[in-house]
C-alpha cells in the first residue's frame, strides 16, 4: 500500500508538471528552472521526514526489522545526495545529446519529462533486481564495489572532448530497425507519416538516446546507493526524487556547465568512497552520518574549487 501511495503521489506531481504548468512547448528560463529546482528539492527534503514517520510508526508494517527511524532518514538523505550528485554527470551528457541533435530549447522539457517517466520504470526494475541479487548472493557487495571502482577510473580516463556520434548509438540503431527516422523533422512531433509510412523523428530518436543514457548512468548510481542501504523503498524513493529534479536542474545548469569543470573530480571521489565502503563492509562499517559528511564535503569542495578557478581565469 505504501508503494501504491508513493507511485500515486509521484505521478500526480508529474501530471501537474506537464498537464498544468508546462502544457505548451516553450523555453524554460533560468529563473523558472531555479524555482522548480527549489520546489523538487523541498519536496525531497520533506519526504525525508515522511520516511522517519513511516519507520518510526512502522506504518503498514514497513519496518518489520525495527530499524532506527533516524538512521533510515539519514540513509534516505545520503542516498538522495549521492543520486543527485551522480546525476550531474548525466546533465553533461544530456547537454551533448541535445547539442548533437540540434534540439530546440522549447522541446527539451517535454523530452526530459518522458525520459523521466521511462527512468522511473527502468530504475524500479533495476533496484528490485539489485535487491534480489544482494539478498541471494553473499558476494554482491563486492561485485557492486568493483563496478563503482571501474566507473570511477573510466571517468578519470574520459577525454575532455567527447566526439561521440549519437546516431551510431545502440538506442538509435534499435529504433531504426523498427521505424525509419526522418532527421529533417524537428517541429515538436515524435512521429510523422510520409507517403503513407510511419516514421520516427529526430525528437523521438533523441528521447531514445536520453533513455539509454539514463540506463547506463543507473548502472553506476544504483550500486552506489546500495552502499548506503539495501532497503528497496529508501533506495527507490531517493532515486526517484533525484531524477525528478534532474530536468529543472539541467535547465538551470546547462548554460554554465563549463564553470563547474572540477565537479567531475568530486563525483570520482564519491564513487571511489562508496566503492571502498562496499568492499570493506565485512571488515569495517562506516557510519551513515560519516558517509553523509564525506560525500557532502567532496561535492562542496568541487563547487568551491570550480568557482575559484573560474574567478581566477576571469580575472586573468
The answer to whether residues 169 and 176 touch, using CB atoms and an 8 Å cutoff, is no
The answer to whether residues 239 and 83 touch, using CB atoms and an 8 Å cutoff, is yes
Residue 200's pLDDT band, with cuts at 50, 70 and 90, is very high
Burial class for 200, CB neighbours closer than 10 Å (0-12, 13-18, 19+): buried
Supply the pLDDT for residue 32. Answer: 78
Helix (H) or strand (E) holding 259: none
Supply the pLDDT for residue 207. Answer: 92
The answer to whether residues 115 and 235 touch, using CB atoms and an 8 Å cutoff, is no
Task: Tell me the mean pLDDT in the region 125-140.
Answer: 88
pLDDT in tens, 32-53: 778 888 888 899 999 999 999 9
Q: What is the DSSP string of 26-73?
A: -PPPHHHHHHHHHHHHHHHHHHHHHHHHHHHHTGGGS-TT---HHHHH
**Distance in angstroms (rounded) separating the CA atoms of residues 264 and 92:** 10
**Distance in angstroms (rounded) separating the CA atoms of residues 237 and 233:** 6
Task: Tell me the mean pLDDT in the region 140-152.
Answer: 88
pLDDT at 162 exceeding the cut of 60: no
Q: At what angle do helices 30-57 and 232-244 cross, to 10 degrees?
A: 170
Q: Please state, as a whole number, how many other Cβ atoms lie within 10 Å of the Cβ of residue 175.
A: 19
User: pLDDT above 70 covers what percent of the chain?
Assistant: 90
Supply the pLDDT for residue 205. Answer: 93
Residue written as grid cell 514497513: 62
pLDDT at 25 exceeding the cut of 70: no
Least confident of 12-21, 30-39, 184-193: 12-21
User: pLDDT above 90 covers what percent of the chain?
Assistant: 21
Long-range contacts of 16-22 (CB under 8 A, 24+ apart): 17/113, 18/110, 18/113, 22/109, 22/110, 22/113
What ranges in 158-201 are assigned the alpha helix state H? 170-178
Supply the pLDDT for residue 181. Answer: 92
Residue 194 CB partners (closer than 8 Å, separation 6+): 182
Supply the pLDDT for residue 24. Answer: 65
pLDDT in tens, 287-316: 878 888 988 898 888 888 887 876 666 555
pLDDT at 255 exceeding the cut of 80: no
Task: Tell me the mean pLDDT in the region 186-211.
Answer: 89
**Distance in angstroms (rounded) separating the CA atoms of residues 231 and 245:** 22
Closest CA to 104 of 174, 192, 170, 189: 189
pLDDT at 21 exceeding the cut of 80: no
DSSP 8-state secondary structure symbol assigned to residue 245? T
Residue 158's pLDDT band, with cuts at 50, 70 and 90, is low
pLDDT at 208 exceeding the cut of 90: yes
The answer to whether residues 226 and 151 touch, using CB atoms and an 8 Å cutoff, is no
Supply the pLDDT for residue 307. Answer: 79
Residue 54's pLDDT band, with cuts at 50, 70 and 90, is very high
Q: Which domain holds residue 220?
A: 2-315
Q: What is the DSSP string of 152-167?
A: HHHHHH--SS----GG
Q: Which residue has the higher pLDDT, 19 or 224?
A: 224
**Distance in angstroms (rounded) separating the CA atoms of residues 53 and 278:** 28
Task: Tell me the mean pLDDT in the region 153-177.
Answer: 77
pLDDT at 284 exceeding the cut of 90: no
pLDDT in tens, 228-238: 888 999 999 99
Cell numbers that stand for 98 in this block = 541535445
Indicate the number of domains in the chain: 1
The answer to whether residues 224 and 271 touch, using CB atoms and an 8 Å cutoff, is yes
**Distance in angstroms (rounded) separating the CA atoms of residues 66 and 237:** 19
Amino acid at each position: 500500500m505504501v508503494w501504491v501511495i508513493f507511485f500515486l503521489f509521484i505521478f500526480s506531481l508529474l501530471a501537474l508538471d506537464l498537464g498544468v504548468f508546462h502544457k505548451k512547448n516553450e523555453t524554460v528560463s533560468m529563473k523558472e528552472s531555479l524555482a522548480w529546482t527549489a520546489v523538487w528539492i523541498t519536496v525531497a527534503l520533506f519526504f525525508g521526514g515522511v520516511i522517519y514517520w513511516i519507520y518510526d510508526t512502522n506504518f503498514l508494517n514497513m519496518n518489520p526489522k525495527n530499524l532506527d527511524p533516524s538512521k533510515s532518514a539519514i540513509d534516505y538523505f545520503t542516498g538522495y545526495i549521492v543520486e543527485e550528485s551522480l546525476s550531474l554527470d548525466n546533465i553533461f551528457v544530456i547537454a551533448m545529446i541535445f547539442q548533437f541533435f540540434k534540439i530546440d530549447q522549447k522541446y527539451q522539457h517535454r523530452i526530459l519529462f518522458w525520459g523521466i517517466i521511462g527512468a522511473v520504470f527502468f530504475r524500479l526494475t533495476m533496484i528490485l533486481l539489485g535487491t534480489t541479487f544482494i539478498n541471494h548472493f553473499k558476494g554482491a557487495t563486492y561485485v557492486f564495489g568493483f563496478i563503482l571502482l571501474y566507473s570511477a577510473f573510466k571517468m578519470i580516463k574520459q577525454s575532455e572532448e567527447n566526439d561521440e556520434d549519437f546516431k551510431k548509438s545502440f538506442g538509435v540503431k534499435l529504433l531504426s530497425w523498427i521505424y525509419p527516422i526522418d532527421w529533417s523533422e524537428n517541429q515538436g512531433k515524435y512521429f510523422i507519416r510520409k507517403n503513407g509510412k510511419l516514421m520516427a523523428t529526430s525528437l523521438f530518436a533523441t528521447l531514445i538516446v536520453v533513455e539509454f543514457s539514463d540506463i547506463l548512468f543507473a548502472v553506476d548510481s544504483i550500486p552506489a546507493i546500495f552502499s548506503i542501504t539495501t532497503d528497496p523503498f529508501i533506495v527507490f524513493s531517493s532515486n526517484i526524487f533525484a531524477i525528478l529534479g534532474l530536468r529543472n536542474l539541467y535547465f538551470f545548469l546547462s548554460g554554465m556547465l563549463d564553470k563547474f569543470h572540477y565537479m567531475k573530480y568530486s563525483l570520482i571521489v564519491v564513487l571511489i568512497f562508496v566503492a571502498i565502503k562496499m568492499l570493506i563492509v565485512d571488515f569495517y562499517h562506516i557510519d551513515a552520518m560519516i558517509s553523509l559528511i564525506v560525500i557532502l564535503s567532496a561535492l562542496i569542495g568541487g563547487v568551491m574549487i570550480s568557482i575559484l578557478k573560474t574567478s581566477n581565469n576571469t580575472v586573468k
